[in-house]
Chains A and B, each alone.
Chain A
Amino acid sequence: MGVAAALAVLGALLGGAALTLAVEHAFVRIDQEAGPARHTELRHNLQLPNADRWLLPAGPVVALAGVALAMVVLPLGPGLIGRDLGIGLFYVIVVVDFVVLGLALAGWGANTPEGVEACYRIVAQLVAYVVPLGLAYVGVIMMARSLSTVVVVDAQRGLWFVVLQPLGFLLYVVTGLMQSYRAPFLEPFAASLGGGVLGVVGGWSALVWRVALAGVLLVVAAVGAVLYLGGSSGPWLPGWAWMLAKTYGLMALMLGLGRLVRPLSTAETLALSWKILIPLGLVNVLLVGGLILLGVGPGA
């Protein structure tokens, strides 16, 4: 991947993150919402008294690196992709885990009771989302017969997968909200924890966190558009315009639906994941398998 492509990917990330913040302004009340959508003031860097000197600054950097790496395989248009890895979708799941790692590092690194509790809640949410998210991906991968994002977009030329796999789409919306730590899965950033990780940042960390957390929502919505909404395919407009519209449409849908539910505590999130989402995911895989055997979906 050349230097120009790398810079283009970073530029897309920054532009996308800015647009994400704009969309969030439209859909959430920024000052009253907890979590990553809250307006994190850019203030002086806070000096926590016992902060772990290596781990606390490493948190936002790791999170941003994760998001930037994930942007590499997103097909923003036909031919507009950083690098088409053969195992692109698997790579995306792996790399977005780094965002969670970054949040956990920052929580522990703050070396306060609230920070450590935030670290526990963040990892609990990771445990909650990862298996249902994988099951939501698996349905699409089964139909498209490939892990590459470009091939998945191509396979939806006839019919978008959201029509064939509505259950998988619903699963993706819910786990996408968990993955990007937006409402109603905001417990790691609750006011009882003083805002969790984001409550004690300032200076350059705050800026990097803003970009990283807006970026993760962007990546989640973009991958959802690729998986279920056909990516950059569409009749009249150019590919990138469709991708933009689908990404932000899905983001608006996710944020709007998330706001309708009251915030769930961590125990409730885990219970939701284990008791409802995983069985639904398995049912989804079964249904998709049945559809493929019946010959529905992209050929061969």
Chain B
Amino acid sequence: MMAAFDILAFGACSFVAVAGALGMATTMSMFRSGIFLMASFIGVAGLFILLSADLIGLLQVMMYIGGFLVMILFMVLVMHDPGGAMMAGMELSPLERWFSKGLVPRDEATSAGQDDPASGEGRSHAGNRHEGHAMPHGEGRHGHARDHGGGAMPHGAHGGHAEHRHADHQHGDGGHGGMDMSMVTPVRPLAAWLAAAAGVVLVGMLFLRPAWPVTDAVPDPDSARRVGNLLMDKYMVAFEGAGFLILIGIFGAVLLARPSTHPDDPSRAAKAAVDAKPEAIRDDRLAPLAEAGGAPEPEHHGSHHGHEDHVG
């Protein structure tokens, strides 16, 4: 009975891990890509727990959920089509179409006509409502991408059954005035073969050399204590070094991301906005006491460039 549970748990966790990674690589929506990656890491954490390394498993989940949420926010900030809306209306291979199910294709010109059968009926009149709204997902700075109307986009390749196109990697190129909206580089076929080769070589090596000294010993259930002892005892240098590395990394990242001090640099315009004071609690008798604080402003030393004409 326990054996069946073991095998079932292993199967489920490894399926989640591999399917999550595959989803990350193929889905058209950047946000979903991040979520698939999180799911993959949770699958691997499940495998760690099955391997009795529960501390590492939980560590993995804790660090990567927070980390990937922040990384997703970065992606949404810098990418043209983080929601996958513009890409969802284009030709996709079946694998990509499967992992992009449920995305609302954002087709500019006409609307509900091109219904994508793979997307189900969750979206009604997707096209019509967009005209007046700001589009938070598909928003780019490239308005010209939308000027080429829906006619140029290959809606003719009706959703779910596009050919698997290894050769054609310029998705929707003809309709976008040269701005290639493809998510993958032109070396995609090479990459796919490379990955397949790497997979085959690694798995082949596994089956041809199975002579590892597998023991039957059982690990100590209190792994946290043992790992802690090792970190403080035998691996103290590595531990302190990792701490130092984290410190340097934080300094470096903050330093790199500060707005430039050059007055013409466009990043100067992207000062962090300080919110207007949020709405107060009704009849808040302690409000006068809370006025003493103030919204802290982001410091950037570049500001003294602007003040150099002040004297004294």
| A residues neighboring B (CB under 8 Å) | 29, 32-34, 47, 49-55, 85-87, 90-91, 93-94, 97-98, 100-101, 104-105, 108, 111-113, 115-116, 119-120, 123, 126-127, 130, 147, 183, 186-187, 190-192, 259-268, 271, 275
Contact = CB atoms under 8 A, between A and B. Distances in A.
B102 A104 contact: no
Contacts of B38: 101
Contacts of A271: 296
B70 A50 contact: no
B234 interface: no
A86 B224 contact: yes
A54 B88 CA distance: 15
Contact of B136 (A55, A112, A147, A262): A112
Given A94-B65, A115-B136, A263-B281, 16 more contacts: A32-B282, A47-B124, A49-B123, A50-B129, A52-B102, A86-B222, A90-B55, A93-B62, A94-B62, A113-B134, A191-B279, A262-B287, A263-B280, A265-B274, A268-B275, A268-B295
Nearest to B280: A262
Specify which of B35, B54, B103, B281 lies most central, judged by the most chain A CB atoms within 10 Å of its CB: B281
B136 A104 contact: no
Contacts of A265: 274-278, 295
B210 interface: no
Contacts of B284: 262
A77 B35 CA distance: 37
Nearest to B122: A53
B70 to A, nearest CB: 6
A51 B290 contact: no
Specify which of A53, A101, A113, A126 lies most central, judged by the most chain B CB atoms within 10 Å of its CB: A53
B255 to A, nearest CB: 15
Contact of B58 (A91, A101, A191, A263): A91
Interface string B255-293: 000000000000000001111111111101011001000
Contacts of A100: 69
A176 B158 CA distance: 50
Contacts of A126: 66, 69
Interface residues of B, number: 55
B104 interface: yes
Given A105-B35, A127-B66, A259-B281, A116 B76 contact: yes
A98 B32 CA distance: 16
Contacts of B224: 86-87, 90, 147
B69 A94 contact: no
Contacts of B222: 86
Contacts of B83: 52, 111
Interface in B52-88: 54-55, 58-59, 61-62, 65-66, 69-70, 73, 76, 83
A148 to B, nearest CB: 10
B126 interface: yes
A101 B69 contact: yes
Nearest to A90: B58
B159 to A, nearest CB: 15
B278 A130 contact: no
Contact of B104 (A111, A120, A262, A275): A111
Nearest to B60: A94
B280 A104 contact: no
Specify which of A93, A191, A262, A271 lies most central, judged by the most chain B CB atoms within 10 Å of its CB: A262
Contacts of A90: 55, 58-59, 62, 224
B296 A262 contact: no
B32 A55 contact: yes
Interface in B3-41: 29, 31-32, 35, 38
B229 to A, nearest CB: 12
B120 interface: yes
B306 interface: no
Contact of B125 (A49, A55, A93): A49
A187 B278 contact: yes
